[in-house]
Amino acid sequence: MKIPPRSKLVFIGDSITDCERARPVGEGLFGAVGKGYVAIVDGLLGAIHPAHAIRVVNMGTGGNTAPDLKARWQTDVLDLKPDWLSVMIGVNDVWRQFDLPRQTEIHVLPDVFRKTLDELAARTRPTVKGLILMSPFYIEPNRADAMRLRMDEYGAIVKETARKNDALFVDTQAAFDAVLQHMHANAIAWDRVHPNIVGHAIIARAFLNAIGVPM
């Protein structure tokens, strides 16, 4: 496994990461790490590599975009002094362009998304032992769908940012695409965005494979 024993692994992102995690810091007892993929990763790391004693912290916040992450980066990332950091952002950056198309002042367009993510990655990479960037996704098999096309564009930005900043890249969209060959999107997420437990397991599996825990 790429993450060494006794490492502190912090996850940050939007509602897909959040999943009812504890405030102000998502760590500790009684479901503090939330009910989503972060909890599944935490549980499997403990079950498969118990001697590693990986410390998992969830700092996801529902509704966040890349600029929202930037606004809380100091307190919710740097001040926590992670050894490894995982970032999954971009869904809301894209979604607001489609569900609130007239409110252009809240849209995060590709150039802003790219610049913000690259700035955060470049700022943080020297302070951590490992950085993981996870693509945003849209659980829609029709790749010609307008929102799916846009999400793929933002996923490509995340992949390029990972390459530039010596980070691991987790292609969550590809992980969903593989499952969508056998399941309808409605069986994974009613709105194509917020996954059920199957969807969160798909994300967790992609993450664990990327860090060298074959699933």
| Count, residues in the chain | 215
Own/partner long-range contacts of 116-120 (Cβ < 8 Å, ≥24 apart): 116/66, 116/67, 116/69, 116/70, 117/66, 117/87, 117/89, 117/157, 117/158, 117/161, 118/161, 118/164, 118/165, 119/70, 120/66, 120/69, 120/70, 120/73, 120/87
Catalytic site includes residue 191: yes
Instruction: Select which of 7, 14, 15, 152 is catalytic.
Output: 15
**Which is nearest to 136 in space by CA: 13, 9, 10, 11?**
13
Catalytic site includes residue 15: yes
Instruction: Select which of 49, 52, 107, 194 is catalytic.
Output: 194
In order of 28, 104, 176, 208, the CA distances from 44 in angstroms are: 16, 41, 20, 9
Tokens representing residue 145 in the block: 């769908």
Catalytic site includes residue 86: no
Q: What's the rounded Cα separation, in Å, for the pair 206 and 195?
A: 14
Residues annotated catalytic, as ranges: 15, 191, 194
